[in-house]
Amino acid sequence: MTHDTRIPCQLYLISPLDVGGDFPARLEEALSAAPVAAFQFRVKDIEQHEAARLAEPLQAICAAHDTAFIVNDDVALAKRLGADGVHLGQGDGDPKEARRILGADVQIGVTCHGSRHLAMEAGDAGADYVAFGAFYPTTTKTVEHMADPEILTWWQSMFELPCVAIGGIAPDNAKALIDAGADFLAVSGAVWTHPEGPAAAVKQFDALLAG
């Protein structure tokens, strides 16, 4: 199957839940190592003012590296920050409503688990990308839905909208997802907990993606 009209698969980093302390320096290290298409700011159970305070230095680092800054789950925070995008889970609101609030230029992504139906619904609702997963076991969040790489191939054959693969992705298992047709690999733990640091992990992924 050819992907002649598609750009090569790219890296999409997702933050750990703790983005305080030295995390801005670690993000700088990661983004300096190789091109990263997007960074998702994912924090839980903190109020918006504090989330915005934590986001600001990270957003500036992303801007300096031409990396899209995506807010997880929170349309209001994305609007407050002037973020490049928002990523919505199935329970986090309607893409059409997010579009109305955030405007035409903001990227809206939707989690679709392993469901073709949810992905088509998201596309119809105006999403800019759909995310499938988890493809592998992950420690970052509780996995309720597993996806088969075949769904990426199916999506590619049917739709132009980009698809993101997520869930337990590491340098040693990513190639199957690239080959299946993922436009983006969404990675968290494999980068932030890499024994040699985030730059080494990003370089490993970059070598795979370039391959």
DSSP state of 155: H
Q: pLDDT of 34-59, one tens digit each?
A: 999 999 999 999 999 999 999 999 99
| Structural contact between residues 208 and 202, judged by C-beta atoms closer than 8 angstroms | no
Band (144; pLDDT cuts 50, 70, 90): confident
| Structural contact between residues 178 and 206, judged by C-beta atoms closer than 8 angstroms | no
Question: Average pLDDT for residues 157-170, to the nearest whole number?
Answer: 97
**Helix 116-124 vs helix 150-158: angle between axes, to the nearest 10 degrees?**
30
Q: In the chain, what are the domain boundaries?
A: 10-210
CATH superfamily of the 10-210 domain: Aldolase class I (3.20.20.70)
Mean pLDDT of the chain: 95
For residues 37 and 14, what is the distance between their CA atoms, to the nearest angstrom? 11
For residues 208 and 134, what is the distance between their CA atoms, to the nearest angstrom? 20
For residues 81 and 6, what is the distance between their CA atoms, to the nearest angstrom? 30
Look at residue 118 and tell me whether its pLDDT is greater than 80. Answer: yes
Band (5; pLDDT cuts 50, 70, 90): low
Whether the full predicted model's pTM is greater than 0.85, yes or no, is yes
| Structural contact between residues 13 and 39, judged by C-beta atoms closer than 8 angstroms | yes
pLDDT of residue 65: 98
Q: Examine residue 134 and say whether the peptide bond preceding it is cis (omega within 30 degrees of 0).
A: yes
- Tokens standing for 118? 């949810």
| Structural contact between residues 182 and 150, judged by C-beta atoms closer than 8 angstroms | no
For 47, the 3-state DSSP assignment is: coil
Residue 63: phi and psi, rounded to 5, are -60, -40
